[in-house]
Structure 1
Amino acid sequence: MLEPVKLLKTIEPFKELPEKEINFLAKNTLADYVKRDTEILKEGEQVDYLYIIVKGSCTVKKGDKVVDVLEKGDFFGDTEIIFEEPSRFTVKAAENSILYMISRKAFKEVLKSYPEFREFFTKTTIERLSEGYRKILPGAEDTVSLLPVKEMKLSPAIFCEREENVKSVAEKMVEAGTSCCLVKGKETGIITDMDLKTKVVAKGLSPLSVKAEEIATYPVMTVESNDFVFEAIVKMVNSGVKRLPVVENGKIIGILEDRTIFIQQTKNFVFLAREIEAERDVKNLKRLFISVEEAIEALFKSGKDIVILQRYISEINDKFIRKAVDLAIEKVGEPEGEFDFLALGSEGRREQTIKTDIDNAIVYRETKGREYFLKLGEAITEILLEIGFPECPGKVMVSNPEWVKSLDEWKYTLEEWFSRPNAGNILKASIFLDFRAVYGNGKLSEELRDFLNRLAKNYRNFLVAMAQKVLETEPPINIFHRFVLEKSGEHKGELDLKRGGIFPITQGARILSLEKGLKETNTVRRIELLKDSIGKDFCSELIEAFKFLQTLRLKSQLDKIKRGRTPDNYVNPQKLTKFERDLLKDAFKVISKFQEMLGVHFRLRV
């Protein structure tokens, strides 16, 4: 068992106190061993100690109902001491336990001397969650410019012989997916993709008859692996080059490209947006799409608010989509009438994270243009998949005729879904109803949104059925406030943040927004617009819970990518800090409260 001083140095907020105060509290601490089922505090009794669980666990009851389960490192009695109240709960040992008991007088003395220490115990759920989701962000890192070059992501270095023909060089570059090739010799030279275009193709020369040494630049400028990135930037700027071979122990280990440096900067999304706008080659778009993951990680590490970060990601995805539509139109011809390309689901809500599939649809004005738009949908999907967007497992894509319809057909479909709220129709509606026009003038999307809001007023039973689905998916935490984990399969020991946490909030906010006739699709904005209906304070709690879950989800996804795993929505609570686990429980409690509110509002719960 840890001595009081050692234990207090590991627990928030005690560990933030000066050592003399920790020693003072330790001197005023008693240790007690309590057997299972022993009543430690009784509802209505005066509280004389702040209790800290050193070993074991305790149940907290209000009447006959268990409202919480406390484990090692948790404490109780603080609120009653601070506000001079009798105990609001009955606390009982759930198993043989060891407790430290800090005297009421000593605890109050430290509270009085350290306002920030007192503030920790008086924070509301919203304040804890708000502080918490920011705390799990890594925080701004040192500027990329001060990193050693070797810590940057380097492109592979490929080589060719001086006598090798240019056709062979180009083939090597394509196979390796690089934009340059180094030429061997006493002096190392470099051939770039621009050299191939300007020195061979533009001059009408045969790639088979031109030797590598004839178009290479000598000597190639290099940078040492231990040099700072800013030194590489200075070399690039002064010499007008876009890439530098990186040398370590006399050998070239890779190529540092200017775009890699830009991607790591906090303004990476501005750079990416410009690159996507200018690019017309799908292979180059694919390379840009791969770099988005790095850009997301860089912004996450800078401590960017998750709502802003997701907005950035959605804007970049939108640009890829618009480019794909433009390229598809070039392929199949100009559209036969007005149309909008719709992003659905999380992209429609602007809540995307790491490379999830993008559900999409097309709405067009005239029924007679169906054949054209089916061809266009197939071409768009083909390009999006080639760029790197994952294929939707449910085939909610414009290559599927079910998701390509005229405005009148979509109106008919929506009314069909609303008038028959079975499981299949609710599922399709849940995917579709957050639609947002990404391509087109948005007029058709606007008409469809107005029609949808009219339907919601006329078919309240559909909203009730959707609310029922939200209530069926409970947060993964049991009545004893312990996490409910997957018992088997690849996610054994993990819990699904999306299904049990994010889903109830997004779905519930959508339903209430439909009821109110709101046109907004973003979840946080929807909740803000609903504050008059569900209360300003609870709206704030719900938003902070949502942001915390989204941040924890993205943090986990980035960590899995680093470990070579596929990013998903699962987290292992054992790999979280105690602080994060406590905040996760707080978030799930907020969601349970939201579900209870929905149940009462739609008369599904008494």
Structure 2
Amino acid sequence: MPHLDFSQPPFDVLSLAERQSIRKNTQIRYLAKNESLPAEELQCLYVVIKGQIEQSLDGEFVASYVGSNHADGLNNNDWFDSRRLPESLTKDNQLEHESTPIQPYQFRANEETLLLQVSGTAIDKISAQNHLVRQILSDKLPERLKALRQRRHNRTLEPASYTNQQEVQQIMLQPVIDIHLLPVHIVDANDSLYEAARIMTKAGLKHVLVRPLHSLYDLNDLDGSQIAQLETRLLLGILTDTDICRAVSDRQNPATTPCQRYANFNLRTIKASDEIGDALLTMTRYRIHRLPVVDQSGDVVGVLGQSDMLAHIGHHSQLISIQIEQAQDLSSLDTAVELIGRYIRSQHHNGVKIGNISRMVQTLNAQVFTKLWQLIVPDEVMANTCLIVMGSEGRGEQIMRTDQDNALIIRDGYTHLDLAQFADTFNSHLATLGYPLCDGNIMMTNPMWRQPLKQFTAQIGLWFRNSDPMHGIYLSAILDAEYVCGDESLLTQVRQHLKLAHQKADPMFVRQFARAALQFGDVNQWWQKFVPLLGGKSASSDIDLKKAGIFPLVHGIRTLALENNVLDVPSTKARLKALVQVDAMTQERADTLLEALEFFMAQRLSVALSTDDKHARQVDPTTLTALERDLLKECLAVVKSFKNQLRQHYQLEIA
């Protein structure tokens, strides 16, 4: 009797006792050609030893599972859990929360096939005790993707090192409150610098928080939103030992100089429940070293110091940020950009979730773009323009260096004779740094993407009124826009105009806008490339991850966000969160769509790191493990169900 391969998932994480239990509950199952597994046998886990099994749903092809000796060249035995219901296809897949009965998959032998049939009861007993097995066999796609990330990382690490890196990943997801926080010491704004220094010395700190005077702000000059901003962001200020040194160098008397004169009241804070990774992003993005931590009531419960956090997680992205900040020319900036590439590789190697990597890379790239723009333009240009990025860079979903998608919004009435030259220098220098020029010319060198605010907004209005397919592409780009540097209020005004233009647009516009998500072929056409064509020349087995997975998800979610007036956040993750908040989608569905998107992104990164393909879109499924192929199949099924949602919701014809 053939034996289970305990070096392959889901059996590679079993203890000796668990392996013995599995052996006792495994038997051979033979299927003749075209024979199907009966309903009473859909309670087991199967491993294909020889032959080929076709999985279908209501007569429609879903996937194929083959033995290691099959002619398609796959080098291990596929397995499938016949108990798994097609949740990603039918449960919670209606935007309006319509209930649909769940039908089981059907499994048929395409040829004479030998299977190892493992008792479902035995699997359940082991799963109850072994969380790794439970993850691999979970009905929840996010759990299975977590298992894949752990195994992908485990291939290159010794067990002890693997455990350590798992802990690093878990630490990044821990709440900020888990880190040792510095104690809170608050002085009044009119207290002297001497008093602040005395408190700092006594407490062994290099800072104190400062309670502002109401006179610091003229509330009569502020609107409601600005007052709310003061209440949330400027409730307290901070005074550091560096500020006191600055006062001394200014020949100020510490005994009579009030703290408010040298304190910084534009204070960033973070919630105690926020993740440590969010704190790291905030420190990196705003180049700050201390973050007051607030509880649910808005009270400060401690101060998170940069050195304490870095010691806690052993992270090095902050070092790259410092390198960027200190760059004085293109050559030194190039060194920092190379460090970003190494950072990506090491984080992926260490099993860090792709979403965390991409968002940190977005922050670091924004600092590169800001520094380059500062090296090129005078301060007056910086003050009167707003540099933005779009596409995957704007959404924070880029991995390696992607094509440039950028624009320059110019303050109305401001001109500079060299703006065109500045734009050309910026784009060409970015290309030199390894960020390819955009094939579609969506860059600030294109006058269409370098305009005064009034002309920019007028152009957006035209895009909403015109059915030209290119205008849909342009609109998608500006919807994904994210601030880089300059006057951020210019981008805020563009977003406000987007809402107005959308309100005035034809109600059928969103329906037309959604069509782009369906323009590529049925997902099943991609999955069927796994199956060699019988009696003919086989097609390329490569799957275009962008066309088959990433674009339909990104654009479909972008469309739903547009429909629900979610226009102030460009990332897919933030859009999903907002859609859940307005009851346009359930939390479970949003989580599944995000996990599927990040799976495709992770596969692209794996291709980019292992090949010379700078676009990293094509993946050959024959190079994947059985677990990776299973998850690829499941994520493609998620894409299919989502496209069906869009067809039904927007009443689009079935392509």
Pick one of 607, 611, 620 that aligns with 1:556: 607
Q: Which moved more, 1:122-131 or 1:524-533?
A: 122-131
Q: Which moved more, 1:107-116 or 1:57-66?
A: 107-116
Distance 1:49 1:301, change over 3 A: closer
Describe the superposition over 1:548-571 as per-residue Cα deviations: whole angstroms up to 9, x where unpaired: 2212221221122xxx55452222
Pick one of 38, 54, 58 that aligns with 2:35: 38
Q: State the one-letter code of the partner of 2:80.
A: F
The Cα shift of 1:79 comes to 5.4
Query: What is the CA–CA distance in structure 2 between the aligned matches of 1:356 and 1:391, rounded to whole Å?
Result: 9
Distance 1:134 1:27, change over 3 A: closer
Taking only the aligned residue pairs, the percentage that are identical comes to 25
The Cα shift of 1:132 comes to 2.8
Query: What is the CA–CA distance in structure 2 between the aligned matches of 1:500 and 1:454, rounded to whole Å?
Result: 33
Query: What is the CA–CA distance in structure 2 between the aligned matches of 1:477 and 1:530, rounded to whole Å?
Result: 28
User: Is the Cα contact below 8 Å between 1:266 and 1:302 reproduced in 2?
Assistant: no
Query: What is the CA–CA distance in structure 2 between the aligned matches of 1:304 and 1:424, rounded to whole Å?
Result: 37
The residue number in structure 1 matching 2:512 is: 465
Describe the superposition over 1:569-595 as per-residue Cα deviations: whole angstroms up to 9, x where unpaired: 222212221111111111111111111
The Cα shift of 1:120 comes to 4.6
Distance 1:283 1:76, change over 3 A: closer
1:422 partnered with 2:474? no
Describe the superposition over 1:495-544 as per-residue Cα deviations: whole angstroms up to 9, x where unpaired: 22122211112111211112222211111121122122111111111111
Pick one of 310, 313, 319 that aligns with 1:271: 319
Distance 1:443 1:480, change over 3 A: closer
Distance 1:356 1:17, change over 3 A: same
Distance 1:19 1:549, change over 3 A: same
The Cα shift of 1:47 comes to 5.3
Query: What is the CA–CA distance in structure 1 between the aligned matches of 2:5 and 2:553, rounded to whole Å?
Result: 36
The residue number in structure 2 matching 1:58 is: 53
The residue number in structure 1 matching 2:393 is: 347
Q: Which has the higher contact order (CA 8 A, sep 6+)?
A: 2
Pick one of 573, 583, 598 that aligns with 1:547: 598
The residue number in structure 2 matching 1:185 is: none
Q: State the one-letter code of the partner of 1:536.
A: Q
Pick one of 431, 439, 456 that aligns with 1:393: 439
Q: State the one-letter code of the partner of 2:543.
A: L
For residue 570 of structure 2, give the secondary structure of its aligned residue in structure 1: coil
The residue number in structure 2 matching 1:578 is: 626
For residue 98 of structure 1, give the secondary structure of its aligned residue in structure 2: strand
User: Is the Cα contact below 8 Å between 2:44 and 2:120 reproduced in 1?
Assistant: yes
The Cα shift of 1:397 comes to 1.5
Pick one of 408, 414, 424 that aligns with 1:378: 424
Q: State the one-letter code of the partner of 2:11.
A: F
1:478 partnered with 2:525? yes
User: Is the Cα contact below 8 Å between 1:339 and 1:363 reproduced in 2?
Assistant: yes
Query: What is the CA–CA distance in structure 1 between the aligned matches of 2:128 and 2:573, rounded to whole Å?
Result: 37
Distance 1:598 1:446, change over 3 A: same
Q: State the one-letter code of the partner of 1:17.
A: L
Unaligned runs of 5+ in 1: 81-85, 144-261, 486-490
Query: What is the CA–CA distance in structure 2 between the aligned matches of 1:318 and 1:479, rounded to whole Å?
Result: 35
Query: What is the CA–CA distance in structure 1 between the aligned matches of 2:352 and 2:134, rounded to whole Å?
Result: 29
The residue number in structure 2 matching 1:364 is: 410
What is the 5 A alignment of 1:178-257?
Answer: none
Query: What is the CA–CA distance in structure 1 between the aligned matches of 2:438 and 2:370, rounded to whole Å?
Result: 18
Pick one of 88, 106, 109 that aligns with 1:93: 109
Instruction: Give the structure-1-normalised TM-score.
Output: 0.69
Distance 1:414 1:599, change over 3 A: same
Unaligned runs of 5+ in 2: 68-77, 86-101, 162-309, 533-538
Query: What is the CA–CA distance in structure 2 between the aligned matches of 1:382 and 1:77, rounded to whole Å?
Result: 55
Query: What is the CA–CA distance in structure 2 between the aligned matches of 1:49 and 1:312, rounded to whole Å?
Result: 42
1:26 partnered with 2:26? no
For residue 39 of structure 1, give the secondary structure of its aligned residue in structure 2: coil
The Cα shift of 1:474 comes to 4.3
1:131 partnered with 2:128? no
Query: What is the CA–CA distance in structure 2 between the aligned matches of 1:296 and 1:56, rounded to whole Å?
Result: 40
Q: State the one-letter code of the partner of 2:374.
A: D
User: Is the Cα contact below 8 Å between 2:420 and 2:445 reproduced in 1?
Assistant: yes
Instruction: Give the structure-2-normalised TM-score.
Output: 0.64
1:507 partnered with 2:552? no
Query: What is the CA–CA distance in structure 2 between the aligned matches of 1:365 and 1:388, rounded to whole Å?
Result: 30
User: Is the Cα contact below 8 Å between 2:46 and 2:82 reproduced in 1?
Assistant: yes
What is the 5 A alignment of 1:41-190?
Answer: 41=38, 43=39, 45=40, 50-72=45-67, 73-78=78-83, 88-102=104-118, 117=133, 120-137=136-153
Query: What is the CA–CA distance in structure 2 between the aligned matches of 1:414 and 1:367, rounded to whole Å?
Result: 19
Distance 1:501 1:134, change over 3 A: farther
Distance 1:15 1:478, change over 3 A: same
Q: State the one-letter code of the partner of 1:56.
A: G
Query: What is the CA–CA distance in structure 2 between the aligned matches of 1:77 and 1:580, rounded to whole Å?
Result: 18
Q: Which moved more, 1:317-326 or 1:101-110?
A: 101-110
For residue 497 of structure 2, give the secondary structure of its aligned residue in structure 1: helix
Distance 1:78 1:118, change over 3 A: farther
The Cα shift of 1:384 comes to 2.5
User: Is the Cα contact below 8 Å between 1:69 and 1:482 reproduced in 2?
Assistant: no
User: Is the Cα contact below 8 Å between 2:561 and 2:579 reproduced in 1?
Assistant: yes
User: Is the Cα contact below 8 Å between 1:61 and 1:90 reproduced in 2?
Assistant: yes
Query: What is the CA–CA distance in structure 1 between the aligned matches of 2:478 and 2:103, rounded to whole Å?
Result: 50
The residue number in structure 1 matching 2:358 is: 310
For residue 40 of structure 1, give the secondary structure of its aligned residue in structure 2: coil
The Cα shift of 1:8 comes to 4.1
For residue 556 of structure 1, give the secondary structure of its aligned residue in structure 2: helix
What is the 5 A alignment of 1:290-305?
Answer: 290-305=338-353
The residue number in structure 2 matching 1:497 is: 545
User: Is the Cα contact below 8 Å between 1:50 and 1:75 reproduced in 2?
Assistant: yes
Describe the superposition over 1:102-129 as per-residue Cα deviations: whole angstroms up to 9, x where unpaired: 4577667666776764665443223223
The Cα shift of 1:426 comes to 1.4
Larger radius of gyration: 1
RMSD, matched Cα: 3.4
Q: Which moved more, 1:62-71 or 1:414-423?
A: 62-71
Query: What is the CA–CA distance in structure 1 between the aligned matches of 2:27 and 2:481, rounded to whole Å?
Result: 60
Q: State the one-letter code of the partner of 2:23.
A: A
How many residues are paired up?
467
